């Protein structure tokens, strides 16, 4: 089993739609969680960190469920510019400096 798993999609949605991605992680001692965005095989860039209480940044909402070991990302009012691959990232439990990436979920927003 992979340490971090995501549904690869693709998710094809119309502009203005709400779309949600889930990610599960296997290590219950994992400490930090992030969502990254990657465009067309360019370098990944941080979209948002994920906090235990949940957090929001404009149209984006991230949530963490430690009991079920999953992380979610909700995108409201999708824009064409949201088309990208979204990577779920988990920081390991020990002080090893290892960030573990999910395989990514591809989102295509259509006019």
Partner 1 sequence: NAGVTQTPKFQVLKTGQSMTLQCAQDMNHEYMSWYRQDPGMGLRLIHYSVGAGITDQGEVPNGYNVSRSTTEDFPLRLLSAAPSQTSVYFCAVRRGRTEAFFGQGTRLTVV
Question: What are the residues binding partner 1 (CB under 8 A)?
Answer: 6, 8, 31-32, 34, 41-46, 49, 87, 89, 91, 95-104
Of the two residues 83 and 86, which places its CB atom closer to partner 1 in the complex? 86
Strands 11-14 and 105-110: parallel
* Residue 105 burial (10 A CB sphere; 0-12, 13-18, 19+): buried
* 81 within 8 A of 65, measured Cβ to Cβ: no
CB of 24 vs partner 1, minimal distance in Å: 14
CB of 77 vs partner 1, minimal distance in Å: 25
């Amino acid at each position: 089993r992979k340490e971090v798993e995501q549904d690869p999609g693709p998710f094809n949605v119309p502009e203005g739609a709400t779309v949600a991605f889930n990610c599960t992680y296997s290590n219950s001692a994992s400490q930090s969680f992030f969502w990254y965005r990657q465009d067309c095989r360019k370098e990944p860039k941080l979209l948002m960190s994920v906090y235990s209480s949940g957090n929001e940044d404009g149209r984006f909402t991230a949530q963490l469920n430690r009991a079920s070991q999953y992380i979610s990302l909700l995108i409201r009012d999708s824009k064409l510019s949201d088309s990208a691959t979204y990577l779920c990232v988990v920081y390991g439990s020990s002080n090893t400096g290892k960030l573990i990436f999910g395989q990514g979920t591809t989102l295509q927003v259509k006019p």
